[in-house]
């Protein structure tokens, strides 16, 4: 098993951040969680720009993205990640309140790895976050950086 990598979590709502972080902690997911407040910050983190210029190199184990965020939304972050050779392999999970079909369809079209509608009931939410954290943060293996590029629908092809 890999040494535990960080989890990138982009969410503009303080409440949601608190609930999600609490849920992750309750699920005993030990990965470090990087919380950013919108898409621009998420991209800054991923590309090590601005306030994140000095952070340690290396892609996160997974990016948990909210859809509706100020400045740049989750869909745009996903689109940019999938068109960037260095970021393409990072698993992306959309974590949202929206059940809208067009969001679902568009996310999968852009190559999302999972799309999770946050349940209203807290316990169900905790379960969902726990599953996500365990799978993407601990169990899932990603290719060594730069070696291969990750293509949508789970197929892997050589550059």
Partner 1 sequence: MKTLSGGSVRKQLILASVLSSGTALVLVGAAMVGYDALELRRALIRRLSVQADIVGANGVSAILFSDQESAEKTLAAFRADPRVIAASIYADGQRFATYLRDPGMESDLLDEGLNLASGGHRLDRDLLLLSKDLVFEGKTIGRVVVASELTEMKTAMLRGGVLVSVVLAGSLGIAIVISSRLQRRITEPVRRLADVARRVSQDRDYSVRASGAGNEEIDSLILSFNEMLEEIRKQQHELRAAHDKLELRVAERTAQLKAANDELEAFSYSVSHDLRAPLRHIAGFAEMLEGQSASLGEEGRRCLKKISLAATRMGQLIDDLLSFSRIGRSDMQTTPVNLSQLVEEVVREARAEEKVPAEWRLGTLPVVKGDRALLRLVFTNLISNAIKYSSKDAHPRIEVKLAGKEDGEVVVCVSDNGVGFDMAYASKLFGVFQRLHRADEFEGTGIGLANVRRIVHRHGGRTWAEGVPGQGASFYLSLPVEQRLP
* Residue 10 near residue 65 (C-beta atoms within 8 A): yes
- Tell which one of 100, 109, 145, 152 touches partner 1 (CB under 8 A): 100
- Tell which one of 67, 75, 90, 93 touches partner 1 (CB under 8 A): 67
Between vectors from CA 33 to CA 73 and to CA 97, what angle results, nearest 5°?
Answer: 40
Distance separating alpha carbons of residues 106 and 142, to the nearest angstrom: 23
**Binding residues with partner 1: total (CB under 8 A):** 20
By CB under 8 A, tell whether 28 contacts partner 1.
no
In 3D space, the residue among 73, 69, 71, 74 whose CA is nearest the CA of residue 12 turns out to be 69
- Tell which one of 122, 139, 152, 156 touches partner 1 (CB under 8 A): 122
Length of the chain: 159
Nearest distance from C-beta of residue 52 to partner 1, angstroms: 27
Structure tokens at 106: 């568009």
By CB under 8 A, tell whether 70 contacts partner 1.
no
Nearest distance from C-beta of residue 67 to partner 1, angstroms: 7
Interface stretch with partner 1, choices 76-84, 105-113, 122-130, 136-144 (CB under 8 A): 122-130
61 burial level (CB within 10 Å; 0-12, 13-18, 19+): buried
In 3D space, the residue among 145, 156, 138, 125 whose CA is nearest the CA of residue 30 turns out to be 138
Nearest distance from C-beta of residue 120 to partner 1, angstroms: 3
Which residues make up the interface to partner 1 (CB under 8 A)? 13, 15-16, 19, 22, 67-68, 96-101, 118-123, 125
């Amino acid at each position: 098993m890999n040494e535990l990598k960080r989890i990138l979590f982009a969410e503009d709502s303080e409440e949601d951040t608190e609930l999600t972080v609490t849920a992750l902690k309750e699920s005993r997911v030990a990965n470090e969680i990087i919380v950013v407040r919108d898409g621009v910050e998420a991209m800054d983190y991923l590309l090590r720009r601005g306030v994140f210029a000095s952070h340690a190199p290396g892609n996160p184990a997974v990016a948990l993205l909210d859809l509706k965020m100020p400045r740049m939304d989750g869909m745009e972050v996903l689109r940019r990640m999938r068109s960037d050779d260095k970021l393409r392999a990072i698993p992306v999970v959309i974590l949202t309140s929206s059940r809208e079909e067009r969001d679902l369809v568009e996310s999968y079209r852009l190559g999302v790895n999972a799309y999770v509608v946050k349940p209203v009931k807290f316990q169900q939410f905790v379960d969902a976050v726990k599953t996500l954290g365990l799978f993407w943060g601990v169990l899932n293996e990603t290719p060594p950086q730069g070696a291969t590029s990750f293509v949508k629908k789970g197929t892997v092809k050589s550059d």
